[in-house]
Amino acid sequence: MPSSLSMRRKAVVVTLALAAPGLLAVSAVPSALASSSSTPTDVVLERLPDEVPDVVEITVPGTKELDRLVATGVDLDHGVEQRPDGLEVRAIITPTEAKALRQAGFETGETLYTAEDTEDALEQRAATIRAAKAENAEFADEATHPDVSDVKITRAEYFTSFGVPILSVEAKWAEGQTATTTLTVERDSGPGTAFGSGGTQTISRFVDASVYLYHRGASPTTGAAALTSRPDRIRITSPTGDVAIAKVTDWLPTGDEADPFKGAGYQEDFITSYLDPTQLYDRIRQLATDHPDLAEIVELPNKTNGYRRHSQAVIPAGTATADNPRRLAITSKAYGSDGGNALSVRVDHPTAADQALTVAVDGSLVVVTSATDGSGAATSTAAQIAAAINAHPEASTLVSAATYRGNAGAGVVPAATVALSDFLNAPANVSRDPHAVYAIKIGKVRDGSKPGVFFYAQEHAREWVPPLVTIETAERLLRNYDSHAATRDLVDNLEIWVLPSVNPDGGHYSFYDFNSQRRNMTMHCGTTAGGNTDANARNQWGVDVNRNYDEYSFFDGYSGASNNCNGDTYAGPSELSEPEAKNVDWVAAHPNMKWSMNVHSSGNYFMWSPAAYRTPGRITAPEPTLEEESLFQGASSRILTAIKRHRGLSVTPARTGRVVDTLYSAAGNSGDMLWYKYGIYAWDFEVGSTFQPPFEAETPTGAGAHQEAMEFSNGLVEMLRIARDHDTDTVAPTSEVKVTSSATEGQVNVEFATSEPASVFYTTDGTVPNLRSTMYAAAGLREGGERLRVAEGTEVRWITVDARGNVERGFVPGREGNYRTWVAEVGYEEPLPASSTTLTLDRDEIRAGQTGVTAAIEVAATGAGAQPDPEGVVTVYVGDEPVGSAELDGSGRAQVALPALSAVGSQLVTARYGGSAELAGSTSLPVALKVVAAPGVPSAAVALTVSPKSITAGKRATSSIAVKVDRDGDVTAGKGVVDVFVDGVRHRTVSLDRNGRATAPLGPFATSGARVVTATYRGTQDVGASSSSPVVLRVTKASSKVGVKITPRKVTTGTRARVTVTVKAPGAHVRGKALVKVGSRSYVVTIDAKGRGSVKLPRLSSGTKRVTVSYLGNAHVKSAKKAVRLTVRR
């Protein structure tokens, strides 16, 4: 779910921060005025009714001019190419529009695609239909320290497209905002070879909305700079001499291996021609009929306006400007299909003098008789005739009339007879009524309980290939259900919505009337929206459906749409004004909808949100988090690899990413609505490389609707597999941390890496991380994770959570101990997880010299969450002497039989676990075993006392031992040596005095906690060894004292003071944290094992400052505080 969902877009402040040094960070609040995002232009584009547009290259020097071009409302295809002289786009324009653009300073270039190409594609379609009826695509070692280098390589990716090797490189240069210099990439020719041995290539600046993003470029496929071998590393030297080196990675690494999903018998290739929207809906209806248990047709709630127009004519016909004052525009009140096409208008010029203007109706004919002057010449002007028609009771029920495009209409209308027409040429089977929009819902269970996936196409009417991609995918899912287990798993466990044509009215118009139609057919021009409403403007009406949605739209001030009702990126009169857009919104609103793909053409792009920005400043919609971006990118790699398997097509790295980074701003697009409004992971395909290609490709790697539908259907199926994998994901992510040196003394860089797309929440102040802690973020545009800079020795704590909610090691966020921890030091090695060892004895007393006691040992991992299983060896000790070992079983248990013991008294038995490669060792608490002497054998009794019974860490206690020997009732003082043990480890050895007594110091102990003290008499030649009963000594937290030193002694507003903290608690472990507070700001200081730490303060204003140092203590030492005063002079 995107982190930005809780943000209210009309009130949020969005900030663009560029990571390259020296670049500007821009903040802005969206204006309430929709027009604020538009680039001012006075260009008026007019598309005349009989003109047929071509696809024409237009090159602009940069994105500022591109924004000006977009603001004209020109119809642009989905493609932006970086060329040496600027950005090249493809415009669908008529000769009149081309002339207007040239007059506005835009340079038109080569014609790439003409109406004849579309006619050829349509003829192929027709031929195919006739035939059917007859037959039935690591940073390595750092050369210049990354903290100070002014160039950084962000991507270096090798791939093949149709078998041709290509290296795509992206890098950021600190001076890229102002300097136009290209960067040279030196390639090696394989591992161990020299830079340059594989040739060089150049990369150029990518500047969007006057903001430098990065340098980018791909190796040429021919010529001296083309690849001849796969590089292992590349090097870029910036103009200032800084050097960056990167290891080359593989992009879409797939060869000729069999498709791992399909397998033998997989059915595919179900399309044979282009299909208009009526045929698309018929096709999905038939699929639902054929598979009633797996699919159903859903009629979406909003009908379109319909494939229909009011009938129109102009008198005189044509577009000559000189005729505009006398030109009359006529529009029927009824749609053409409802009788408007039967109407005619005749203007007569009588020859008699001084006749009055009259209007009459004869059936379906409106007859206008012009007024004449004294000589019999006609005198009725366009304005007069329009007023007369509109005032006539009968004629005004049939038609309305107007002067031409706001002209005063002072010219005399010529005599003429015109038949009104709606100019619609689709066959009769294409309905002229408001059109229902249909989707097919596929799934064994279709009640909303399964994760939803939404495929939709033809928001833009002229895009004929995308619907075929969705139809092919639906066919594959249903036709393979019975015979292909992997397909059956998808259909059984997902709810898949396929909407092959969002915009059926525009789709029909594109097929049968105006092949270049982009929008729907609804005309909003008129008194409110302005614009041209006459018959000559009939190819300039409609709303761009993919600019009519309600997130980050034109109405919110975002770029890439227009309020010109005759423009091809017209956003409509308001957000979600169009039924086509409302239908997409209705599907997306289903609570189970989690994934979507909006299929467009062309350009071979693969993109995701954000897809809109505001200008100036290029302020984008909220960026995905690092986790979300990683999921988008990781899923993309799988989907694009599946596409490549069909015939080797590679969607390049430069065309993969966020829409605003790879294409242009598209305010009010559906992908942003699905992502920001509903939290749906939403992608956008741009299928194919050309506009309305022939159905069959002319070459194996050429453009062809059939081949493109096959390869991109592979991608949709792979997307379903991703949705399924996500739903079944129960594997928790794992994470790693890397600490490297920084260019700042006393500080280091910290970076995280995760095993899958996941969020890392971290703290550096000793608090427990939870889901509200700071989230690890991206370093910048199209980069990996950020490089955190912290004080050396800082404890970093974190938890890792994937998109499915799985938490690393099963930690409970926010609970003490439920987190990973690391010390920010270069070369630091993470301690192994802790273990605990417990020991029990099957009896608590044994006679000296006898066997029969068994020790049972159990080892467990004590950390929070998922922990490694204990394995390895445990050893049992009596005192500090090992008496036996055993291997742990699968449950962490073992048993050891104790040997016969000769020492009489209370013997302490412990078990020590030696640890494993994954788990730290541990020692059990001691268990007392009473060993009694055999009858008639001299025995010793050992008495032990400890004083005081409680001390603080770092202090000492005293143990007192008394030994008496009993020889058949004759009790004497013991002689010899006594060992004093603390927690089973020999601590002191002392000799008994003549009275059988001794004392031994205990401690000091650096840590707090209970200590078990025992004394063991070693015995003599005739008296056996013996032990005392255990005594507990309690060690509590030590008190501490804080010292503060500020250097230099004289601090000015131009110098930075260093605060050095010293913590004293003699004999105790003082490592921990201290807070240095100056005014309202606090700084964390790490206290090392020697009790020292320091922090360099920022420059301070003049005056006397109170500096308060608070040592936070630890498990063994109490906290302490000290305040001093610091005088800062000017």
Q: Which residues contact 367 (CB under 8 A, 6 or more apart)?
A: 346, 348, 359, 360, 361
Contact 469, 708 (CB under 8 A): yes
Q: Is 831 exposed, middle or buried (0-12, 13-18, 19+ CB in 10 A)?
A: exposed
Angle value at C-alpha 488, between 484 and 493, nearest 5 degrees: 160
d(CA 930, CA 981): 17
Give which of 198, 1073, 286, 274 is closest to 696, Cα–Cα. 274
Cα–Cα nearest to 394, from 416, 363, 355:
363
Full 3-state SS string of 492-539:
HHCEEEEECCCCHHHHHHHHHCCCCCCCCCCCCCECCCECCCCHHHHH
Please spell the DSSP secondary structure of 155-217, one letter per residue.
EEEEEEETTEEEEEEEEEETTTTT----EEEEE-SSTTPPTTTT-EEEEEEEEETTEEEEEEE
Residue type, position 205, single letter: R
Comparing CA positions, the residue from 1043, 963, 1031 lying closest to residue 996 is 963
Q: At what angle do helices 485-493 and 705-727 cross, to 10 degrees?
A: 60
Residue tagged active-site, from 97, 575, 580, 686:
686
Alpha-carbon distances, residue 130 vs 13, 134, 135, 241 (angstroms):
59, 6, 9, 67
CA distances from 1126 to 400, 446, 1075, 1092 (A): 86, 71, 16, 20
How far apart (Å, rounded) are the C-alpha atoms in residues 1015 and 1029?
8
Token pair of 529 as six digits: 């929206």
684 in Cβ contact with 607 (< 8 Å): yes
Which helix (DSSP H) or strand (DSSP E) does residue 719 occupy? helix 705-727
Tokens of 605: 């792009």
In 295-394, which ranges are continuous DSSP H helix?
382-391
Per DSSP bridges, beta strands 873-878 and 881-887 are antiparallel
For 719, the token pair is 């997307």
Active-site residue flag, 686 = yes
Query: What's the Cα-to-Cα distance from 271 to each of 263, 280, 385, 458, 472, rounded to whole Å?
Result: 21, 11, 54, 17, 6
The two structure tokens encoding residue 250? 């593989």
Q: In terms of Cα–Cα distance, which of 707, 792, 694 is closest to 750?
A: 792
d(CA 1115, CA 1127): 35
Is there a contact between 194 and 186 (Cβ–Cβ < 8 Å)?
A: no
Six token digits for residue 233: 């590393």
Q: Residue 430, CB half-sphere, CA atoms under 13 Å: how many?
A: 23
d(CA 636, CA 609): 13
Q: Which residues contact 1006 (CB under 8 A, 6 or more apart)?
A: 953, 954, 1067, 1068, 1069, 1116
Q: State how far the alpha carbon of 94 is from the alpha carbons of 46, 516, 602, 1062, in Å.
A: 9, 10, 20, 80
Distance CA 721, CA 252 (A): 17
The CA-based dihedral angle spanning residues 805, 811, 814, 819, taken in that order and rounded to the nearest 10 degrees: -120
* Residue 64 in tokens: 């500022």
| CA atoms of 898 and 867, how far apart (whole Å) | 31
Q: Which residues are part of the catalytic machinery?
A: 686
